[in-house]
Amino acid sequence: MSGYLCIVARDRCKNSFAKIFRYFAPMLRSYALKQMGNEALAMELVQDTMSNVWQKSHLFNSEKGSPSTWIFTIARNIRFDMLRKQRNRKEDVRS
């Protein structure tokens, strides 16, 4: 997968990105469902994560970690952002 990620970063190759997406999307969905317990939120997390992978592929450094570590770190950060937004909405409703 590291090679595909480098090709996406260098060439913006949609075929390489599609391979990354097909490989990681099911694992991300499973992770998100376990963490969030909601199919719609899980799919939103998958889409947001993979969108970030496309946009930020040039930031991936194989010397610092594997593609899965990098992608799941992105997913974790997006999940935290989603939880923060939910918490803020609940606080706004109470006000």
What's the pTM value of the predicted model, to 2 decimals?
0.88
Contact 39, 33 (CB under 8 A): yes
18, pLDDT greater than 70: yes
Measured distance CA(26)–CA(6) in Å, rounded: 21
Tell me, what's the pLDDT at 94?
A: 63
Tell me, what's the pLDDT at 85?
A: 86
Average pLDDT over residues 69-77: 97
What is the sign of the dihedral through the CA atoms of 65, 68, 72 and 75? positive
Q: Over pLDDT 70: what percentage of the chain?
A: 93
Measured distance CA(68)–CA(54) in Å, rounded: 14
Contact 79, 35 (CB under 8 A): yes
Using DSSP, state whether 74 is helix, strand or coil: helix
